[in-house]
Amino acid sequence: MFLPRRILEEKLYRFLREDVGQGDITTSLTIPKRAFAEALVVVKEKGLIAGIEEAMALCESLNLKASALTLDGAPVEPKTAILRISGNARTLLSAERTVLNILSRMSGIATSTNRVVSKIDSAGFKTRVASTRKVAPGFGFFDKKAVILGGGDSHRLKLDDLVLIKDNHIKIAGSIRSIIQKARATASFSKKIEVEVPSTSDAVEAAKAGAEIIMLDNFSPTEVKETVSLLTKEGFRSRVLLEASGGITEKNVLNYAATGVDIVSIGEITHSTRAMDLSLDIVKVKK
């Protein structure tokens, strides 16, 4: 998800603009025009950092100097300084909250994603952890980037990323078989085709019809396991990816990982994020 700097900056300015409104009235009343300040962004709890690139891009484009003291994707301990920012004090203070909000939400997402990924790794499974499109509206790009930094899979960010036929498409358009055949005939060869199914038998039908990825929606771990077995038996296992989705959380994820499913997708890592606790501390001042 590489963006040229200026395109990234445009996305970040939206957040700054919303937070600044028609101007930082406190700062202009209290801080001398040319005062200089240096600050550290300090982490107050253990976790995985994300948002360093974004924070630096925003600061630098405002003519603040920014030095990363850690890397995106790196684990940190409490009380670690992760970013040094210095420059015009008014600018620094007016951007403070936006910078912190970006870092704390992205780091929160990276941290919880990584907790799930590590749990699966430690248990010796190979299952991938994917996010859903249940992001904070307007911040989806950054939510997804945080998932990747946490070791997860972005899955779709947008409706143009993948052909993903869900229950509502099937309800409107007809049988799983016919809808997959139609999609295969007309979709671009550059796109994968995934189908959401409610039952093992539908999973088999989807595999027969040529789906490349099958989403097992709201299956219990036992049902996932049976589906994996059946698809293996019928010879489809090597050419379809299986994704378990619905009701999977950090708590029950190992039960799903143990089924041999390829991917588990988890909504809570983006829709119910716990932000990382961070602060910006002024460490030097020149007036």
- 140 touches a copy of itself by CB under 8 A: yes
Among 136, 144, 134, 116, CA closest to 263: 116
* Span from 11-19, 115-123, 197-205, 221-229 in contact with a copy of itself (CB under 8 A): 11-19
- 49 touches a copy of itself by CB under 8 A: no
- Judged by phi (left if over 0) then psi (alpha if -120 to 50, else beta), residue 73 lies in left
Partners of residue 41 on adjacent β-strands: 83, 280
d(CA 279, CA 252): 33
Partners of residue 195 on adjacent β-strands: 165, 214
| Residue closer to a copy of itself, measured from CB, 76 or 148 | 148
- 105 touches a copy of itself by CB under 8 A: yes
Binder of a copy of itself out of 46, 65, 158, 208 (CB under 8 A)? 158
Nearest distance, CB of residue 6 and a copy of itself, angstroms: 6
| Residue closer to a copy of itself, measured from CB, 32 or 124 | 32
Q: Which helix (H) or strand (E) holds 284?
A: strand 278-286
Nearest distance, CB of residue 206 and a copy of itself, angstroms: 13
What part of residues 161-220 is at the interface with a copy of itself (CB under 8 A)?
161-166, 168-169, 171-173, 179, 182-183, 186-192, 194, 213
Structure tokens at 229: 């077995």
In 89-127, where do the E strands start and end?
none
Nearest distance, CB of residue 85 and a copy of itself, angstroms: 12
Q: Are 86 and 72 in contact (CB under 8 A)?
A: no
Cβ neighbours around 153 below 10 Å, total: 17
Three-state secondary structure call for residue 248: coil
Which residues are part of the catalytic machinery?
134
* Span from 87-95, 198-206, 220-228, 229-237 in contact with a copy of itself (CB under 8 A): 87-95
- 46 touches a copy of itself by CB under 8 A: no
Binder of a copy of itself out of 77, 79, 124, 137 (CB under 8 A)? 137
d(CA 97, CA 244): 37
Three-state secondary structure call for residue 214: strand
Q: Are 165 and 178 in contact (CB under 8 A)?
A: no
Nearest distance, CB of residue 100 and a copy of itself, angstroms: 8
Number of C-alpha atoms within 13 angstroms, CB side, residue 214?
31
- 115 touches a copy of itself by CB under 8 A: no
Binder of a copy of itself out of 40, 43, 108, 253 (CB under 8 A)? 108
Nearest distance, CB of residue 13 and a copy of itself, angstroms: 6
Q: Are 240 and 223 in contact (CB under 8 A)?
A: no
Nearest distance, CB of residue 128 and a copy of itself, angstroms: 6
What part of residues 211-240 is at the interface with a copy of itself (CB under 8 A)?
213, 239
- 73 touches a copy of itself by CB under 8 A: no
